[in-house]
A and B are shown apart, each in its own frame.
Chain A
Amino acid sequence: MTDIIQILILGLALGGVIALMGSGLALVFGVMRIVNLAHPSLIIAGAYIAYWGAKLTGIDPIVMLPVAAAIMAGIGVLMYRLVFEREARNAKYSEMTVLLTFALAMIVEGVLGGLFTNTQRVTSPGYATDAFFLGDLFIPKGQLYAGLISLVIIGALSLFLKYSRLGYAIRATTQNREAAELLGVNVNLISVLAFAIGIGLAGAAGSLVSFVFSFFPAKHWEWIAMLMSVVVLGGMGSILGTVVAALLLSVIAAFVGTWVGATWSTMTFFLALFVILLIRPQGLFGEKPEMA
């Protein structure tokens, strides 16, 4: 019994982080209809910001979180202006846009590889190797903090979307871009904003990831399918759904990892994706067949 609770706790803590990793992806998809395959690579970029902050100045990665988020948000704006602005104008989905994000993922990976080599990295603040003990249970502080901070950030994001004027505009653009534009929403500005927030969330997630997982530039390929399964299971674009799906899959993965073997735990996410494909023939994003 203790075993099960133990695994549950570890799964939930990681699930919180994974939810944050996926939330930016969900937001960008919701507003822009862009499946951003470069998102995980940008999380890794955020992790490197935290890593170098810690290494050069000794700043705690959690303290670096706002910095990483801000820098990545700036990069998001740049990416939007350089690449996606023109894509946003043709409302029609094209696989070219997805491939473009794929190319961006390679560019980010290449740049990170060139700057920081392919060595595995991890930040190691004191709490990363510390734990709380509750009777027989042990709760690693690093994962606990990362999970809780993730959920707080997601909570703040949800409140912002639900109650602020900009949040209204973002939600409206997500649901009906044309109608939002006709009601006076500057949809282009909203797209930039959503992109900035989405990529900023990648930066925030990156600084938490930096002490939860070890990372290297090419690691993001493992994450893209993992995050996609979470975002898709969560109902594409829904932040709350993403959180629930992340917690659920992460807990399952934790059980698989303990009972079957550590290498198989990531498989949970990939298989989940295939199961969803099987039971949702209309596609992960409800794409209509004539979309080419």
Chain B
Amino acid sequence: MSVSLQQSSASAVLEARRAHNDKLARKADQARAVWFPLTLLALLSLLPLLQLSGNYNYVLHIVLFTASYVAMASSWNILGGFTGYVSLGHAVFFAIGGYFSGMILARFGISTIVTAPVAGLVAAIAGYLIGRITLNVRGPSFIISSIALLMIARILFDNWAFIGGANGVTLPVNSLSAQWAKVPYYYAMLAIAAVTVWVSYRIKHSKFGLGLRAISKDEVKAESAGIDTRFYKVLAFALSAFFVGMTGAVWGEYLTYLRPNIFLIILVSANLVLMCILGGKGTIAGPVIGAILIVALNELFVATMGASELNILGTGLVMALGLIFFPLGLVGTLARRGKLPRVLNWD
């Protein structure tokens, strides 16, 4: 028998690893295209000028609708994308925000655009309290608890006479002409979306965001590394409820009514998850791209097929195919292959 104890060249391995890390860091630094979302935002804020030359209400509606989902999906991403806690109950915060500001509008005539931050705060407090309970568990347990939360909220809202029960509440319509009626909500929603994306960007690049991602990788290790995981998770949950609540507030007045079967349905939650998965969970551009894709797809479905039963079928199909073939989402998959176009690199 031969004995061939070659000294494994440990130093060579270390050297190679260092070179590899350097290369990765250089790649990540390759100027991210922050200018792109900013330009997009500037262009979109000029869009209402179109109304001077005709009626482009449909265009405004689509952008507003997309912006609302951009805000909510990016918000969901703070919890679901960064920490890996998948919530299917975020429609609850949408409803809390919508009903809080909506009821103030109905009683005192104060526009929800004004009270939206407070609505966000109320949703965040609810998120904080709920998170204290449900964030004790993870994985499938957490997902199921979030569905149960939605069911509980639905029963409560359906049976609470003060907020109109299952019939909901009709909200006063603003006094602007049809031409300009959508514009305030347009700007409000655009602003909420922009702020949400910006906040999620700031979170991702903060120590807090680093902690959240550590939690998603290995919670025990994160904890032993000195991260207060419990506080981090609950804070992420509250933050992600905040922007969904704000969106709900503005959406209620835009819609001119509040009703549990609009706000408290699983499809709203499912859409947020779907957008993040399709775009790329945990990335900044992912939820934005996902929201645009899904809204476009939705319009296509509704335009070609109409029926709402097919809507849920389409959503399910797209989600299943996305999960099977692109579990990392569009942005994630392209980035993994090193083919992410610079305009989509906002991280």
Contacts and interface: CB of A to CB of B under 8 A. Distances in A.
Interface centre among A35, A106, A222, A278 (most CB of B within 10 A): A106
Interface in A258-279: 263-264, 266-267, 270-271, 273-274, 277-278
Nearest to A93: B139
B137 A284 contact: yes
Interface stretch (B14-22, B234-242, B314-322): B314-322
A264 B155 CA distance: 8
B134 A217 contact: no
Interface stretch (A95-103, A123-131, A138-146, A242-250): A95-103
Given A263-B159, A289-B220, A274 B148 contact: yes
Interface in B131-188: 133-134, 136-141, 143-145, 147-148, 150-152, 155, 158-159
A104 B314 contact: no
A95 B86 contact: yes
Contacts of B150: 221
A228 to B, nearest CB: 5
Interface in B286-316: 307-316
B139 A283 contact: yes
A222 B219 contact: no
B140 A35 contact: yes
A280 B148 CA distance: 16
A277 B132 CA distance: 11
Given A100-B320, A287-B140, A113 B313 contact: yes
Contact of B147 (A107, A217, A221): A221
A114 interface: yes
Given A221-B151, A274-B148, A107 B317 contact: yes
Interface in B232-279: 266, 270, 273, 277
Nearest to B321: A103
B31 interface: no
A105 interface: yes
A284 B141 CA distance: 5
Given A109-B316, A110-B316, A270 B138 contact: no
Contact of B218 (A110, A225, A285, A292): A292
B216 interface: yes
A63 interface: no
A284 to B, nearest CB: 4
A91 to B, nearest CB: 14
Interface residues of A, number: 53
Contact of B221 (A110, A113, A290): A290
B23 interface: no
A225 B148 contact: yes
A277 B145 contact: yes
Interface string B107-147: 00000000000000000000000000110111111011101
Interface in A68-117: 83, 86, 93, 95-96, 98-100, 102-111, 113-114, 117
B225 interface: no
Contacts of A110: 309-317
B88 A281 contact: no
B130 to A, nearest CB: 9
A267 to B, nearest CB: 6
A225 B309 contact: no
A185 to B, nearest CB: 25
A238 interface: no
B217 interface: yes
Contacts of B280: none
Interface of B: 84, 86, 88, 133-134, 136-141, 143-145, 147-148, 150-152, 155, 158-159, 216-221, 223, 266, 270, 273, 277, 307-317, 319-320, 323-324, 327
Interface of A: 35, 37, 83, 86, 93, 95-96, 98-100, 102-111, 113-114, 117-118, 217, 221-222, 224-225, 228-229, 263-264, 266-267, 270-271, 273-274, 277-278, 280-285, 287-292
Given A35-B143, A114-B310, A288-B220, 15 more contacts: A37-B143, A98-B143, A100-B320, A106-B316, A109-B309, A110-B312, A111-B313, A114-B313, A274-B145, A278-B133, A285-B141, A289-B138, A290-B219, A292-B216, A292-B217
30 contacts: A35-B144, A37-B144, A83-B320, A93-B139, A95-B84, A96-B327, A100-B320, A102-B143, A103-B317, A103-B319, A106-B316, A107-B317, A109-B309, A110-B317, A111-B313, A113-B312, A114-B307, A114-B310, A221-B147, A228-B144, A270-B155, A271-B152, A273-B144, A283-B137, A283-B138, A283-B141, A285-B140, A287-B137, A289-B218, A292-B217
